[in-house]
Amino acid sequence: MDLSLLAEQIVNGLSIGGVYALIALGYTLVYGILTMINFAHGEIFMVGSFMGYWTLAFLEQKGLLWDWPQLSVIVAMSLSVITCGILGSALERFAYRPLRTAPRLAPLISAIGASIFLQNLIMVMVKGRMRVYPDIIPLTGIEVGGIFVSHFQILIIGVSLLLMVALWIFIRRTKVGIAMRAVAEDKMAASLMGIDVNRIIQVTFLVGSSLAAVAGVMVGMYYSQINHMMGFIPGIKAFTAAVVGGIGNIPGAMLGGFLLGILESLSVNILPAQYKDVVAFSILVAVLVFRPRGILGEVVGERV
Amino acid sequence: MESEYKKRLFYGLVFLGLILLPQFVGNYWSHILGDVGLYVMLGIGLNVVVGLAGLLDLGYVAFFGVGAYSYALLASPHFHIHIPFLVLVPLCILIAMILGALLGLPVLRMRGDYLAIVTLGFGEIIRIFLNNLDPVTNGPKGLLRIDPFRIFGFTIDEPVEWYYTILLGILLSTFFYKRIMDSKIGRAWMAMREDQTAAELMGIDLLRYKLLAFSIGASFGGLGGAIFAARQGSIFPENFSLIVSINVLCILILGGMGSIRGVILGAFVLVGLPELLREFEQFRMLLFGLLLIIVTIFKPTGFFRPEKGLKIVND
């Protein structure tokens, strides 16, 4: 088989894997702290993508986009991060918090409701039509050992890695981060130590949703077409990535994301491209059956 | 005794009303009522898995789809096979049951929300296959000119006739559901739902009863699917998307888990009401999502009291 083709597929896999990893971090953070799957997380990613589009479209209309393309993208990302951060914490406050002591599946059902709500909210707003991002990514790139890697791919991988390292430092070194770990470990003990558990949980949703927003804008720029259904499949895949790496584990989510991206990208050598989604689901089932704690996950008694 | 008698009288009257209903509402509404009825059937089936056995299945549409495609492939010009429905419908149910057991095998050890996500993935896999296995399923173009039910030279093709067919299907399903709920199997499921570990210690073979729950639950989906295919006359992969699973689950949640009355009410609200609100079509799902959150928070047991001390889904 052609080696340079293989290398190219791996680079493609790493770029989309970076996106999966960013979304997966949101699942993992929330799961780590509440042992709950935030089913609406994929929809937050979708809203992030639309927010980025609306900002860029507005700037284009005002004639600012083409004069300051880099700055415009930064503005779009920031607005998207802010919107999604607020949305994520609002979701926690109104849809999940009242159910914290309810049977375990109640929050999941509420999350399905939130997911349907957000999908249809955007659908009503865009009248069900897809949107196309302005064509601002340069098609330039570099040649490494005979394969072409676009600057934008490098940007996606770079931004994902950077955010993951930042998150890692945030969790390990800052006061809020340490409080998050304490709450994940034992809510009661944490609150006795003077930690405001509700606030920390809200911060967790805020951080996870912000990461999804960045992923949303990058996907919008990368694939250019976005629609209100776009959150579902990446959401499931990012969840798969989180499970593969070991849910609740931050380096695991990154590893899982990149791994899933590469596997999926390589799968087209064996299977027709339409079955790409089947590959991800099969990996999910296989991991849950044979190694439910994932690659890096620790053994936790019967928590699930 | 007195109240038992009243209860029977009440149900008798309701039943009589359901029999007479199509005579007053005409073809269009008979068709809609048929849709409601199909959802009732699916609701009863999912109730076995979620309400009785406590296993949250988000891929229930897979069984509906497989029932429909099994019927359509074996009773249409697509392969030039025309198996009479009295043979084919039980076969569709059987195929759905086998699929249910096959799905049950790998996911048996998972609990709660993991199970939910995996079954959701399973439902999607089935839809992707229906969409892409063109030589067998004809892909997105779907299967056309599916045989209706024919019995002794009589063809069921009017909406009113389908209404009665579906009503009969619901009666059979309800009867079967009640019998199994009160049987040893039903008791074992409920024990399993309330506390898996305790149930296992009491000697309930979890593996066996979970498999049973999946395959018996799937049988209702298979029946519903076969009727759906025969009634529509043509089916497409989009008929079997995730939203069907979600709708059926919502019927259970709205109506109250574990209650047939609840399932019927839930199906009327969920399928019937949007028909009344046609002009709000685009806001329908928006409100629906909101309603789902509100109902879960304020009325976690649904609008009907669950029967015999049922709790809402537990892990």
Q: Give this complex's ipTM.
A: 0.84
Of A232, A281, A304, the CB nearest to B125: A281
Query: In chain A, what are the domain boundaries?
Result: 3-134+147-290
Half-sphere exposure for B311 (CA within 13 Å, toward CB) = 18
Put simply, the answer to whether B128 touches A114 (Cβ < 8 Å) is: no
pLDDT at residue number B157? 82
pLDDT at residue number B303? 62
Provide, as residue numbers in chain B, all residues whose Cβ is less than 8 Å from the Cβ of A124: 282-283, 286
pTM summary value = 0.86
pLDDT at residue number B130? 93
pLDDT at residue number B314? 44
State the average pLDDT over residues A68-82: 95
Instruction: Tell me the two tokens of residue B269.
Output: 């609200």
User: What is the spatial distance between Cα B62 and Cα B99, in angstroms, rounded to a whole number?
Assistant: 9
State the average pLDDT over residues A13-41: 93
User: What is the spatial distance between Cα A194 and Cα A175, in angstroms, rounded to a whole number?
Assistant: 12
| Whole-number percent of chain A with pLDDT over 70 | 97
B154, containing H or E segment: strand B154-155
pLDDT beyond 60 at A303: no
Angle, to 10 degrees, between the axis of helix B206-232 and the axis of helix B2-46?
80
Residue showing tokens 């008979």: B30
Half-sphere exposure for B125 (CA within 13 Å, toward CB) = 18
Provide, as residue numbers in chain A, all residues whose Cβ is less than 8 Å from the Cβ of B296: 99, 102, 106, 109-110, 113
Residue B302, min C-alpha distance to chain A (Å): 12
pLDDT at residue number A302? 41
Residue A112, min C-alpha distance to chain B (Å): 8
Residue B113, min C-alpha distance to chain A (Å): 7
| Whole-number percent of chain A with pLDDT over 90 | 63
Instruction: Tell me the two tokens of residue A5.
Output: 């083709």
Instruction: Tell me the two tokens of residue B127.
Output: 């839809």
User: What is the spatial distance between Cα A135 and Cα B150, in angstroms, rounded to a whole number?
Assistant: 58
Strands (E), B171-299: none
Q: Which CATH architecture has domain A3-134+147-290?
A: Orthogonal Bundle (1.10)
User: What is the spatial distance between Cα B213 and Cα B54, in angstroms, rounded to a whole number?
Assistant: 9
pLDDT beyond 90 at A285: no
Count of pairs with CB atoms under 8 A, one residue in A, one in B:
134
Provide, as residue numbers in chain A, all residues whose Cβ is less than 8 Å from the Cβ of B266: none
CA-nearest of A11, A9, A292, A38 to A157 is A11
Of A55-64, A128-137, B275-284, B289-298, least confident by mean pLDDT is B275-284
- Chain A residue set in contact with B, beta carbons under 8 Å: 36-37, 94-95, 98-99, 102-106, 108-110, 112-121, 123-124, 128, 232, 236, 239, 243, 272, 274-275, 277-278, 281-282, 284-285, 288-289, 292, 302, 304
pLDDT in tens, A255-269: 999 999 999 999 988
User: Are the C-beta atoms of B249 and B58 separated by less than 8 Å?
Assistant: yes
State the average pLDDT over residues A227-246: 92
Half-sphere exposure for A34 (CA within 13 Å, toward CB) = 28
User: What is the spatial distance between Cα A149 and Cα A11, in angstroms, rounded to a whole number?
Assistant: 7
A122-148: buried (b, 16+ CB within 10 Å) or exposed (e) per residue?
A: bbeebeeeebebbebbeeeeeeeeebe
pLDDT in tens, A163-217: 999 999 999 999 999 999 999 999 999 999 999 999 999 999 999 999 999 999 9
pLDDT at residue number B266? 86
pLDDT at residue number A15? 94
* Phi/psi at A270 (5° precision): -105, -40
Long-range contacts at A96-102 (CB < 8 A, ≥ 24 apart): A96/A34, A96/A36, A96/A38, A97/A198, A97/A201, A98/B297, A99/B296, A99/B297, A100/A34, A102/B296, A102/B300
Q: Which residues in chain B come in under a pLDDT of 50?
A: 307-315
pLDDT at residue number A146? 77
pLDDT at residue number B279? 65
Total number of residues shown for chain A: 304
pLDDT at residue number B82? 92
pLDDT in tens, B299-308: 766 666 554 4
Sign of the torsion formed by the C-alpha atoms of B226, B232, B235 and B237: negative
pLDDT beyond 70 at A159: yes
pLDDT at residue number B180? 93
Provide, as residue numbers in chain B, all residues whose Cβ is less than 8 Å from the Cβ of A282: 125
